[in-house]
A and B are shown apart, each in its own frame.
Chain A
Amino acid sequence: MYDVVIIGAGVVGTGIARELARYKLNIAVLEAGSDVAVGSSGANSGIVHAGYDCKPGTLMARLNVQGNAMFDEISRELDVPFKRNGSLVLAFNEDDISQLELLMTQGIRNGVPDLQILSGEEVLEMEPNVSSDVIAALWAPTGGITCPYGLAIAMAENAADNGVEFYFEHRVEYIEKKENGVFRIVTSRRDFAARYIVNAAGINGDVISKMAGDDSFSIHPRKGEYCLYDRKWGNTVKRTIFQPPSKMGKGVLVTPTVDGNLLVGPSAVDTDKRDDDYTSAEGLDFVYNIALKSVPSLSGDGVITVFAGLRAIADGGDFIIRPSYKVEGFIHAAGICSPGLTAAPAIAREVAAILARLSGELEPNKAFNPLRKGIKRFRDMDWEARAQLVEEDPRYGRIVCRCETVTEGEIVEALKSKLPVNAIDAIKRRTRAGMGRCQGGFCTPRIMEIVERELGIPMECITKKGGSSRIVLGKIKDFLKEGEGIE
């Protein structure tokens, strides 16, 4: 019996798990996917927004600004890359300028610090690759960039270190509230019992809510497609470059990523499919063409991968973070679209406060350790630190992923981490092996050898991302059948 079951291990669910681990609670996180952050949290812009785009008075506005302010501390505690690179919203005409003014007013009301409207010249001075058609920009120095799945992984690992249990590939299929007030949660693997449920199910937040008997809102998926550029393009801009927002969102941005690539996107297309993470030629063309308006020198080449993610838009558009009005003990953290990543640490606090209100005072967990150490990053070390590391453990002297300079030592660290890691994508997201320009062409077979050796998983059983995503389907000679020819 758990005090709290959190459904969903995205950036919201893992953040809540970590926050609740500060209290003496028995907590489980149930995740349908094979790893943390496999939904929206794994496919977004990675921006820590300043908070000027949200309508004043909304939950979004408050939690965005609060969350933004928490990032320095949380990224330090959790050893997650984070950089306040600042963001610029470009204006190309008078209409745009009035938009900037509106954003500035909103931002000030939301409590965003240090906002400033810059002239076109000032913008070009800061960002020479931005279109010379720019006539002004809103400058928000508190804007930042982080690694969205890296943050979720870190929060989950820290939660796990502090006693939270994680169950992957446990898809919630049925929820009932028994007469004694305890929830019975049926998953694709086993049943769970819990006093409280936190709904952090992302794109399926309404589905989970309905399962529990609360149909008070629905979620509408909105797809966003992205192009990720080679590191060579990583310095094209230093700040995150926006255009004035539209009804559909913050528009197409051009930004460096915290890992040194350049990211362009997203498109914004409403879809009715909750698993529609396919990219499309139209979407990618759209993203590129709009981005050209911000950065005209952007090449069509240099893209190393494309991806799409879904944003969970709730009715009304605002976050839904409150107890269910229909089902006692059921707490929503739903409809978390942009700026959900930024808000995640603040959402976690909000949920903890709600739980405290519902259950009475929460008893602090004195043993809680807020610190988590990430996997060593050979590529980011100086010469002396590298030398010492290889001296201590020669596995750090064997480069497995040559594009991103990832060592065998790092891969092994990932495999031995607190959460179960055995799929190629899970290793990739923790070490960056396979994230570079050859996209795993060289290192995937080598990583498979290490997985086989370290975890004893036969090569044929190693997956890309769990489920049926096996990399190879058999040994050589296996498909040669006796008595059959080749057609």
Chain B
Amino acid sequence: MQLICILCPRGCHIEINQGEDGKWEVKGYACKRGRDYAIQEATCPLRVLTTSIWVEGGNHRLVSAKTDRSIPKDKIIESLKQTKGLTVKAPIDIGDVLIENIAGTGANLIATRRVDIKQV
């Protein structure tokens, strides 16, 4: 299986195959993180989800958010649907948990921007 590592902008072209003994043979990576990524990608691809959530009473309409760790790629859509209809109240700080254990992944959706209370 051919992969392009997405961990850093270098974008290594990695080849990964499972040997008969079940061990992974990985070629073309430039760092250990790349090797780990390839194995992860071959078994259960993980992604960080980033999105925005509506804010009530804030100095911004939206707060940007991300999962605090990578989640399985096939859980992304379910996670996104869980954000539908959600509105959070200002103030919000970076790192505040907006949704706990999103889509049962064990990851939290956390704020990535500070939103203060709107000054009238």
Contact = CB atoms under 8 A, between A and B. Distances in A.
Q: Let me know if chains A and B touch directly in the complex, using CB atoms closer than 8 Å.
A: yes
Interface of A: 476-477, 480, 482, 485-486
B48 interface: no
- By DSSP majority rule, is chain B's interface helix, strand, loop, or mixed? mixed
A270 to B, nearest CB: 50
Of B54, B81, B83, most A-chain CB atoms within 10 Å: B81
Contacts of B83: 477
Contacts of A480: 80-81, 84
A476 B50 CA distance: 13
Given A477-B54, A480-B81, A486-B77, 9 more contacts: A476-B52, A476-B62, A477-B83, A477-B84, A477-B85, A480-B80, A480-B84, A482-B81, A485-B77
Contacts of B80: 480
A312 to B, nearest CB: 46
Contacts of A486: 77
A142 B77 CA distance: 66
Contacts of A477: 54, 83-85
A482 B77 CA distance: 10
A477 B85 CA distance: 8
A420 B81 CA distance: 40
A8 to B, nearest CB: 41
A57 to B, nearest CB: 64
A447 B87 CA distance: 25
Contacts of B77: 485-486
A476 B54 CA distance: 9
Contacts of B52: 476
A482 B85 CA distance: 12
A446 to B, nearest CB: 13
Contacts of A482: 81
A486 B75 CA distance: 12
A460 to B, nearest CB: 14
B84 to A, nearest CB: 5
A278 B28 CA distance: 50
A187 B81 CA distance: 46
A477 B83 CA distance: 8
A480 B85 CA distance: 10
A10 B62 CA distance: 42
10 contacts: A476-B52, A476-B62, A477-B83, A477-B84, A477-B85, A480-B80, A480-B81, A480-B84, A485-B77, A486-B77
Nearest to B74: A485
Interface in B70-91: 77, 80-81, 83-85
A99 to B, nearest CB: 61
Nearest to A459: B61
The 8 closest A-B pairs by CB, nearest first: A477-B84, A480-B84, A486-B77, A480-B81, A485-B77, A480-B80, A476-B52, A482-B81
Nearest to A477: B84
B36 to A, nearest CB: 27
A476 B52 CA distance: 8
Contacts of B54: 477
Contacts of A476: 52, 62
Contacts of A485: 77
Nearest to A482: B81
A353 B12 CA distance: 80
Interface in B51-66: 52, 54, 62
Nearest to B86: A477
A154 to B, nearest CB: 36
Of A477, A482, A485, A486, most B-chain CB atoms within 10 Å: A477
Nearest to A481: B81
A162 B12 CA distance: 71
A448 to B, nearest CB: 12
Contacts of B62: 476
Nearest to B52: A476
Contacts of B81: 480, 482
